[in-house]
Amino acid sequence: MARLVRDLGLKTCIEGVVEKLEEDYGRWETFQKSARTANHCELGVVELMPSSTDEEFAFKYVNGHPKNYLHGMSTVMAFGALSDLKTGWPNLLSEMTLLTAIRTAAMSVFAAKHLAKADSTRMAMIGCGAQSEFQIIAFNEILGIREFFVFDTDPHAAAKLKRNLSELNVTICNSIIEAVNGVDIVTTCTADKTKATILTGSMIEPGMHINAIGGDCPGKTELAADVLTKGNVYVEYEPQTRVEGDIQQMSADFPVTELWRVLQQPSAGRMSDSEVTIYDSVGFALEDFSALRWVYSMCQKHAYGEPIDLVPIMPDVKDLYGHSGLVRSLV
């Protein structure tokens, strides 16, 4: 995957996934959808995320363990598969740690493309962890954001981001308030599994687009409740976001709009430059489906990847026992 990204360029990869997202969100009603299966413990979560059309099935295995850095492991690690639904044949088995960062950046840009002000040029990045560079590159290369104001409680993380993106206009700020002052877009991407209030209502200015991508499981939030009442809230799959997103703080009848509706009916999106829009992202399996579809198309076009013996190919498909060499010699 790293070789594919290096060869094609990160911008091309993110644009390719955005293209697949546009296609798949445009046919939202044809998908079999369900919230992910999640097994939680005190230190984190392991999740399975399936999605399918009538032709293809995809799933992602992914964890989220914020303290993994203490053991020299990533907070998020993932892999996934894309299969032919009609036969069950697995066409692709892929790493998805790097790919998840790409698809998350692609999804953020996809949402902002439809919800943020068209003339946006300034963005705050709250949280400078593993996904932050992908977010900033995506917004710079695809949406033309020129100035970035970043903050992290860990100064080493902010310095790492600025070092990695030295060619961009990145300013390290001393507080969240300083970072969000006067910007068009605010992206929150924090990892702690707590009910945090990264943004409060007093920080929100007219015309802002809030891209909240870190609150993604029960008991984990980034936005104070009064932020959610400042504008229209957009989600991926409402049944999942009600449980996992920032709107878990709100009543069951708190109004939200699923993103696919904005594609079909633009009037469901931003209607003025003074309006506040809030994207409460938790990550949905359809997005991984789109990302895996893009990877599979690149593997076919550019000959990446290699065949592996993942499933048996047998002369007699009804004789697994004999094919496996388990036949006993009779004496």
**Closest listed residue to residue 121, CA positions, set 101, 95, 149:** 149
- C-alpha angle 324/59/70, rounded to 5°? 100
CA 66/CA 178 separation, integer angstroms: 26
Catalytic member of 24, 216, 280, 288: 216
Provide the 10 A C-beta neighbour count for residue 200.
14
* DSSP β-bridge partners for residue 277: 209, 232
216 flagged as catalytic? yes
Contacting residues for 179 by C-beta, under 8 A, at least 6 apart: 124, 125, 126, 149, 150, 151, 173
H or E element in which residue 12 lies: helix 10-25
| Residue-by-residue DSSP string for 219-250 | TBEEE-HHHHTSSEEEESSHHHHHHHSGGGGS
The contacts of residue 259 (CB under 8 Å, 6+ apart) are 25, 111, 114, 234, 235, 236, 279
Q: Among all residues, which ones are annotated catalytic? A: 216
